[in-house]
Amino acid sequence: MQYAPTDSHPKARFYYFFKEKLQITNETFIFTQANRIFKNITMEYYISRNDRKEGPFTLDELPEKRIVPDTLIWAVGYKEWKQAKDVPELESILYSTPPDIPVQKPMPKTWLVESILVTLFCCLPFGIVGIINAVKVDTLYYGGFYEESLYRSKQAKKWILWGVIAAAGCVALYFFFLLFLFLFESNSYI
Amino acid sequence: METNACPKTWMVESILVTIFCCLPFGIAGIVYAAKVSSLYASGKIEEAEAASKNAGKWTKIGFIVGLIVIVVYTIINISAVTALMNA
C-alpha cells in the first residue's frame, strides 16, 4: 500500500503494538464501528435472571424472553445493569400485553354505628375507644393506608366486643344479685 | 403564614365532655376529633383543620349544655329541699 506506514515509522510501531495487544483485526474494528452507527438495529442485550447471565439477544429476540419491568438488562455502552423499565427501546416489548388489573380492596367495616350504640347502651369507656378507632377506618382507607385502616377496623371490633361482654357481665351479675337476695329473704321467712 | 403542624384534635376534651357533661354532643366531638389526626396523616391538612373546628364546636356545645343541665338540676334540687324543709 502506498500510504501504509513503514515498519520503522513510529506510528507503525504504535499501530502493530495495539493490533497485537487487543487482538483485533481490521474486520472486527469495522464491525464495532458499524455497530455503533446502527446501534438500534444490531444492539445486543444480555438478561440477568436468577443471578445468571443470558444472551446476547437482539431486540427482535427479546419478546420471547418474557421480560418484566424489573428484569435486569445490559447492552454495550451501559455502565451498569438497568431495569427493563428504564430502557426506552424496550417499552414496546414490556407494554405490549395488558398489565394485571389492580385489585381494588374494599374498605374494611367501620363499626361506627355499632360502637355508638355500645357507648350509649352498654359500656361507655369501651364504646368511646370503639368510636375513636371506627372513625379512623374510612379516613385512613381513603388516604391510602389500607393496612392501618384494617388494623383500626379490627381494633374497633375488639372494643365493641369487650363493651358488649362487659355489659352482659354487669346484667348477669345484677340478676345473680337479685336471685341471691330473693333466696336469702325467702329463707329468712321460713 | 402557612403552618403544617397537626391541628388541635380536641380528643381529650371531647372524651371528658362525653363522660361528665353531655353524651350525644360529646360523641359528635369524638367522631370529629378522631378524624383530625388520620386526615392530617393522609396529607389532607385543610380537611383536618375543618374536622378540628367541628370537634371544637361540638365539644363546646356539649360543655355548655352539660353545664346548663347541671346548674338547672342543682337549682331544682335546692328549691325542692328548701320547700320540703319549709313544709
Q: pLDDT (tens digit, 9 = 90+) per residue, A120-159?
A: 888 888 999 999 999 999 888 988 888 999 999 999 999 9
Rounded Cα distance, A137 and B78, in Å:
47
Task: Determine the distance in angstroms separating the CA of B83 from the nearest CA of chain A, rounded to an integer.
Answer: 35
Taking an 8 Å cut-off on Cβ atoms, the answer to whether A128 and B43 are in contact is no
Taking an 8 Å cut-off on Cβ atoms, the answer to whether A143 and B35 are in contact is no
For B2, half-sphere exposure in the C-beta direction (CA atoms, 13 angstrom radius) is 3
pLDDT reading at A17 higher than 80: no
B27 → closest Cβ in A119, A136, A139: A119
Residue B43 one-letter amino acid? G
Find cell 424489573 and name the residue.
A70
**Number of other residues whose CB lies within 10 A of the CB of residue B35:** 24
* pLDDT score of A33: 58
* Contact criterion met (CB below 8 Å) for B62 and B26: yes
* pLDDT score of A29: 61
Spell out which chain B residues touch chain A, with contact meaning CB-CB distance below 8 angstroms. Answer: 11, 15, 18-19, 23, 27, 30-31, 33-35, 37-39, 41-44
Taking an 8 Å cut-off on Cβ atoms, the answer to whether B30 and A135 are in contact is yes
Mean pLDDT, residues A48-53: 81
Mean pLDDT of successive 10-residue segments in chain B (87 residues)? 75 90 89 89 87 93 94 94 89
Is some CB atom of chain B closer than 8 A to the CB atom of A142? yes
C-alpha cell recorded at residue A3? 500510504
Question: Is the four-CA dihedral A113, A116, A121, A122 of positive or negative sign?
Answer: positive
Residues of A whose CB is below 8 A from B6: none
Secondary structure of A17-76 as H, E, C letters: HHHHHHCCCHHHHHHHHHHHHCHHHHCEEEEEECCEEEEEEECCCHHHHCCCCCCEEEEC
Taking an 8 Å cut-off on Cβ atoms, the answer to whether B34 and A136 are in contact is yes
**Which chain B residue's Cα is nearest to A121?**
B23
* Cis before A63 (ω within 30): no
Is some CB atom of chain B closer than 8 A to the CB atom of A131? yes
* pLDDT score of A76: 80
Which residue of A110, A131, A133, A159 to mutate against B (max B Cβ within 10 Å)? Answer: A131
* pLDDT score of A105: 84
Task: Determine the distance in angstroms separating the CA of B84 from the nearest CA of chain A, rounded to an integer.
Answer: 33
Q: pLDDT (tens digit, 9 = 90+) per residue, A105-126?
A: 888 898 988 998 898 888 888 9
* pLDDT score of A1: 43
- Rounded to the nearest integer, the mean pLDDT of chain A is 79
Is some CB atom of chain B closer than 8 A to the CB atom of A117? no
Taking an 8 Å cut-off on Cβ atoms, the answer to whether B38 and A120 are in contact is no
Domain definitions of chain A by residue range: 10-94, 112-189
User: What are the CA-CA distances from residue B13 to residues A20, A28, B36, B41, B83 (Å)?
Assistant: 87, 82, 14, 21, 37
A139 → closest Cβ in B30, B33, B42: B42
* pLDDT score of A8: 60
Residues of B whose CB is below 8 A from A145: 41-42
What is the predicted ipTM?
Answer: 0.72
Task: Determine the distance in angstroms separating the CA of B37 from the nearest CA of chain A, rounded to an integer.
Answer: 9
Give the neighbor-by-neighbor strand order of the sheet with A52-58: A52-58, A44-49, A72-75, A82-83
